[in-house]
């Protein structure tokens, strides 16, 4: 069992994390079961909230005691104004958000069933991410880490490159993306945290220990990990040369929406704080697990105290494999 003090915020100023990517107005409907065909389905709860991969990660950073900033794009419409207001009121610095004339803000309709699984129908205006501002090392010099998602690839690449030039942590949320996007962004990242579907697709394999090994050989320069929901997380330990599996905390899942984003935000903050990698993975895993117990997407992101207290009672399940042996 790890002592709670290991997961307290370090002394001094809060670490600053810049998140770059999606900002979406989500309408969440809670249903008993997901639909399997045509017809009408009647939800028994609903919520509208501004989120998205980078936005939810930024919220997690703020909830966990970090200083979160967001670069994203919205249209010049009422939905865009609401997205920015919602995120600003949640403790995120949105001064770097772009309002795109003539574009519609991103929206998404999401069904969440009683097992916590979801069905997502997103819409992104093609013009929303056409404008890409230059990003210099000076633009990111005040941040301790940058975290980019795959929804605005051109801006993500410029931000990662600027972060590397400035000697900052450059973290990629390696989720499912269009052809060539991961391959374009990954060489500029210092850390890549893949979703299971994206990792399996990129590696051309399904056994996750093997997948981690393949991705590490593909992107030797970066820290490599894969999140697999209730099956926990896997990563390549650069110090020992082992592939590690950490079982997921056992929780009753009510809503898995944004759990991966919460993981990424927690990972970025903990890495910026200098937490050792195994503790970082435990911290991030618990933050994501606690989120799953709350309906409402990112609003389930826990506080630092909630994560710290939950970690005290977690009997960690851990396995390791030497890279190149067995399934690796």
Q: Supply the angle between the helices 259-272 and 53-63 in degrees, to the nearest 10.
A: 50
Is 169 in contact with 38 (CB distance < 8 Å)?
no
**pLDDT for position 117:** 87
Alpha-carbon Rg for the chain, nearest whole angstrom, is 19
Q: Which positions ≥6 away from 148 have C-beta within 8 Å?
A: 19, 20, 21, 54, 155, 156, 159, 160, 170, 171, 172, 173, 185
What are the CA-CA distances from residue 195 to residues 9, 229, 324 (Å)?
A: 27, 9, 22
Sort 313 into a burial class: Cβ within 10 Å, 0-12 / 13-18 / 19+: exposed
CA-CA distance, 53 to 288, in Å (whole number)? 13
Structure letter (DSSP) for residue 188? G
Q: What is the Cα 245 distance to its own chain's centre?
A: 19
Sort 293 into a burial class: Cβ within 10 Å, 0-12 / 13-18 / 19+: middle
Task: Of 13, 155, 65, give the one whose Cα is nearest residue 172.
Answer: 155
What does the longest C-alpha to C-alpha distance in the chain come to? 56
**pLDDT for position 2:** 44
**pLDDT for position 1:** 42
CA-CA distance, 111 to 117, in Å (whole number)? 8
CA-CA distance, 194 to 172, in Å (whole number)? 8
Q: What is the pLDDT of residues 251-276, one digit of tens each?
A: 999 999 999 999 999 999 999 999 99
**pLDDT for position 189:** 98
DSSP structure string for 37-59 = SSS----SEEEEEEE-HHHHHHH
Structure letter (DSSP) for residue 93? B
**pLDDT for position 237:** 96
Is 191 in contact with 210 (CB distance < 8 Å)?
no
**pLDDT for position 4:** 45
Tell me the backbone φ, ψ of residue 163, rounded to 5 degrees.
-65, -45
Secondary element (H or E) of residue 246: strand 242-246
Structure letter (DSSP) for residue 76? S
Residue positions counted in the chain = 328
Q: What is the pLDDT of residues 36-47, one digit of tens each?
A: 989 999 999 999
**pLDDT for position 248:** 95
* List of the chain residues with pLDDT < 70: 1-5, 324-328
Q: What is the pLDDT of residues 132-187, one digit of tens each?
A: 999 999 999 999 999 999 999 999 999 999 999 999 999 999 999 999 999 999 99
**pLDDT for position 261:** 98
Structure letter (DSSP) for residue 7? G
Residue with tokens 């005290």: 312
Q: What share of the chain is helix, strand, coil (3-state, %, to 5)?
A: 35, 25, 40
Secondary element (H or E) of residue 210: helix 208-218
What are the CA-CA distances from residue 216 to residues 56, 140, 211 (Å)?
A: 27, 27, 9
């Amino acid at each position: 069992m790890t002592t709670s003090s290991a997961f307290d915020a370090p002394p001094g100023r809060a670490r600053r994390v810049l998140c770059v990517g999606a900002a979406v107005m989500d309408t969440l409907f809670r249903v008993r079961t997901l639909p399997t065909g045509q017809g009408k389905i009647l939800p028994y709860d609903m919520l509208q909230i501004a989120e998205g991969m980078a936005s939810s990660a930024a919220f997690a950073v703020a909830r966990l005691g970090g200083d979160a900033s967001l670069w994203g794009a919205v249209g010049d419409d009422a939905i865009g104004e609401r997205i920015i207001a919602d995120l600003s009121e949640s403790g995120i610095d949105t001064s770097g958000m772009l309002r795109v004339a003539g574009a519609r803000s991103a929206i998404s309709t999401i069904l969440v069933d009683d097992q916590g699984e979801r069905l997502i129908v997103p819409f992104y205006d093609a013009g929303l991410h056409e404008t890409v501002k230059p990003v210099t090392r000076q633009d990111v010099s005040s941040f301790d880490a940058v975290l980019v998602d795959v929804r605005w690839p051109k801006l993500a690449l410029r931000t990662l490159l600027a972060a590397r030039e400035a000697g900052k942590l450059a973290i990629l949320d390696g989720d499912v993306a269009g052809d060539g996007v991961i391959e374009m962004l990954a060489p500029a990242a210092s850390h890549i945290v893949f979703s299971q579907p994206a990792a399996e697709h990129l590696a051309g394999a399904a056994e996750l220990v093997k997948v981690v090994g393949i991705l590490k050989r593909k992107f030797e320069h970066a820290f490599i990990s894969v999140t697999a929901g209730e099956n926990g997380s896997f990563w390549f330990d650069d110090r020992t040369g082992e592939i590690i599996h950490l079982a997921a905390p056992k929780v009753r899942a009510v809503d898995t929406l944004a759990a991966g984003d919460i993981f990424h935000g927690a990972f970025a903050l903990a890495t910026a704080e200098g937490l050792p990698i195994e503790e970082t993975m435990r911290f991030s895993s618990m933050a994501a697990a606690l989120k799953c117990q709350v309906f409402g997407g990112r609003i389930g992101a826990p506080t630092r105290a909630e994560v710290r207290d939950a970690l005290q009672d977690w009997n960690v399940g851990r396995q390791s494999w030497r890279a190149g042996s067995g399934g690796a």
